Amino acid sequence: GAVVSQHPSRVICKSGTSVKIECRSLDFQATTMFWYRQFPKQSLMLMATSNEGSKATYEQGVEKDKFLINHASLTLSTLTVTSAHPEDSSFYICSAGQGMNTEAFFGQGTRLTVV
């Protein structure tokens, strides 16, 4: 099946710094990638949808200036958490698909801890 690779799997950063998370589709071209955030014992919450070559669409309540998404190629999307704070500590997960509503494959997730 299709493989989506996410890197890093875990990262610890200091408050105020920025962290970049990469999401790669390894064996298919992903025109659309999705970014989720998951807090402990909660479900995944969609943060934004990124389409290759265009601006990402953010869900209500998600600050686009804080969570920068770049989808410059059909195999790579990046999420940058800018000026991270402890409340940004969470599990971030990406998924990729070949159309707006066709995502089915998820990355391994990135555990972000802001200290």
- Identified binder of another protein from the candidate list 14, 61, 86, 101, rule CB under 8 A: 101
DSSP 92: E
Per CB under 8 A, does 91 bind another protein?
Answer: yes
111 Cβ neighbours under 8 A, 6+ residues apart: 9, 10, 11, 91
- Identified binder of another protein from the candidate list 71, 107, 112, 114, rule CB under 8 A: 107
Residue with tokens 């070949």: 98
DSSP 79: E
DSSP 59: P
| Site map 18..47 versus another protein, x via CB under 8 A | ----------------x-x------xxxx-
Amino acid at 33: M
82 versus 111: smaller Cβ distance to another protein: 111
CB atoms within 10 A of CB 19: 19
- Identified binder of another protein from the candidate list 35, 58, 67, 105, rule CB under 8 A: 105
Contact set with another protein (CB under 8 A):
1, 4, 6, 34, 36, 43-46, 49, 91, 93-95, 101-109, 111
